[in-house]
Amino acid sequence: MLAPMGDMRDDPRETEAAEAEVNAGPGFKDGDQVWVEDAEGNRHAGVFVGMNEASGWFGGGPSAYVVHAEGHQPEVVSLARIIERG
């Protein structure tokens, strides 16, 4: 028999708010100017192209396509490395 879940809330609005936060997109749209951080923490200019919809299929975290100023082909980048350039 399963034990009762102690973290369930009586108020469904709290659960709905948490679900909305998790399901929210990253806030970037096609054409946005962004920075992409590399492994050393350096920032490179890029343009956001779109979300990588297949990233969850292989157990990876959320990612997106970015075209770098130095290159002309999109690269798949972890959302954690994309910063709004503003």
Q: Which residues contact 18 (CB under 8 A, 6 or more apart)?
A: none
* Confidence bin at 69 (pLDDT 50/70/90): confident
pLDDT at 29 over 60: yes
pLDDT at 4: 56
Q: Which domains does the chain have, with CATH numbers?
A: 27-84 (2.30.30.140)
Report the mean per-residue pLDDT for the chain.
79
C-alpha span between 75 and 20 (Å, rounded): 28
Query: pTM to 2 decimals?
Result: 0.65
Question: How far is 47 from 15, CA to CA, in rounded Å?
Answer: 35
Other CB atoms within a 10 A radius of the CB of residue 36 amount to: 20
pLDDT computed for residue 67 by the predictor: 95
Q: pLDDT of 33-68, one tens digit each?
A: 999 999 999 999 999 999 887 766 666 788 899 998
